[in-house]
Amino acid sequence: MENGNYTPLFNLDSFERKPRFTNGFFQRDVLSVDQFSKDDLDYIFARADEMQAMSRKWGTCDLLKGYTLACVFYEPSTRTSSSFIAAMERLGGKVIPITEGIQYSSVSKGESLIDSMITLEQYCDVIVLRHPEIGSSSTAAKYVKVPIINAGDGAGEHPTQALLDLYTIKSELGTIDGLRISMAGDLRYGRTVHSLTKLLTKYDVSLRYVSPDTLRLPLELMNTLIDKKMDVREFSRVEEVIENTDVLYVTRIQKERFTDLAQYDEVKGYFNIDAELMQKAKEKMIVMHPLPRVGEIAYAIDKDPRAAYFRQVQNGLYIRMALLAAVLGQA
């Protein structure tokens, strides 16, 4: 082995990785829907449109070449982790996927979430974090310098889901203002319903909530809507709202939230979006669902052009691409 004077590996003068856009989202954490102004939403949606166009024409690009994402899932969520991984890879960035075994690994040796996050930050430029405890992403963001994107913190928030939901409405119907949006299913525990509702308060929309009695929208959220003088009403049957609805947002009754399974058995199968119901709906209505579904929407509906739930999944990819690029200063 030669000693002392080694042939250098790199000519580092040739190029330097630099943020292109330093205002707005650069280095910002994405923790909650509350942090997004209407201008922010417009910006991210415009960038998501570009991501879609790029994906269709090129498939992938080099926008995030030089950047690395640590994608950390303390609880499995194939849909969300796949979406973030695909998003980063399509932008030419690198991914360190950390999912399996995480509970048997450092954490079981007594390591705190904070130490794990600071450790991972040494390897990457941005962290996507899913963790079962409310507030975990916000806590992590306090200690970690790289941007944290909250990919779900238990019963807390899942902001990228709410953004992709809203983006889907805008993409599908061209506007958000003026629409009548009906949400049906588990409105009590359904995190996606709560987050989307919060975002929709920024717009001029009519909100219709449809649920069994035991799964109505939480009191505080309803009071917020009333205080903001939103056009809001509650129902117990989808049939009562279907005719005038522009967006039907259906959610799964989440078995895992019930301590009393008898109560679950009572309400499961409460909804059934089928061909008969769809006949009463507007021609331009869209059906959305955060998936997975467990019987709320009949498979036969998938072929109906109004079934937007799989396009909604794809929109998640574009929204996450836009967010990743934005917090890294490349959009």
Whether omega before 159 lies within 30 degrees of 0, making that bond cis, reads no
CB-wise, 43 or 270, nearer to a copy of itself? Answer: 43
Instruction: Decide if 130 is catalytic.
Output: yes
Closest CB 100 distance from a copy of itself, rounded Å: 4
> CB of 95: closest distance to a copy of itself in angstroms?
8
Q: Which is nearer to a copy of itself, 32 or 206 (CB)?
A: 32
**Least Cβ distance, residue 123 to a copy of itself (angstroms):** 4
Are the beta carbons of 240 and 79 closer than 8 angstroms?
no
Q: How far is the CB of 207 from a copy of itself (least distance, A)?
A: 26
Query: Closer to a copy of itself at the Cβ: 130 or 208?
Result: 130
Say which of 18, 57, 109, 145 is annotated catalytic: 109
Count of C-beta atoms within a 10 Å radius of residue 301? 17
Which among 131, 158, 188, 208 is annotated as catalytic?
A: 158
Q: Tell me the sheet residues that pair with 231.
A: 206
Q: How far is the CB of 194 from a copy of itself (least distance, A)?
A: 19
- Is residue 109 among the annotated active site residues? yes
How many whole angstroms separate alpha carbon 198 and alpha carbon 140? 23
Q: With respect to a copy of itself, which residue has the nearer C-beta, 233 or 311? A: 311
Q: What angle do CA 153, 157, 162 make, to 5 degrees?
A: 135
Nearer to a copy of itself, 66 or 154 (CB): 66
* Nearest distance in Å: CB 328, a copy of itself: 10
Catalytic residue, chosen from 47, 90, 130, 289, is 130
Burial of 152 (0-12, 13-18, 19+ CB in 10 A): buried
3-state secondary structure 117-175: HHHHHCCCCEEEEEECCCCHHHHHHHHCCCCEEEEEECCCCCHHHHHHHHHHHHHHHCC
Q: Which is closer to a copy of itself, CB of 102 or CB of 221?
A: 102
Task: Output the six-digit token pair for 26.
Answer: 């650069």
- Whether 299 and 272 have beta carbons less than 8 Å apart is answered as no
Which CB, 225 or 258, lies closer to a copy of itself?
258
Question: Which tokens in the block code for residue 128?
Answer: 């996507």
Residues 6+ apart with CB under 8 A from 310: 302
Q: Is 206 helix (H, G, I), strand (E, B) or coil?
A: strand
End-to-end CA distance of the chain: 45
- Catalytic residue among 17, 65, 79, 284, which? 79
Minimal distance, residue 214 CB to a copy of itself, in Å: 20
Please name every residue paired with 130 in a beta bridge, in sequence order, or none if there are none.
Answer: 73
Number of Cβ atoms within 10 Å of the Cβ of 119: 13
**Active-site residue list:** 79-80, 109, 130, 158
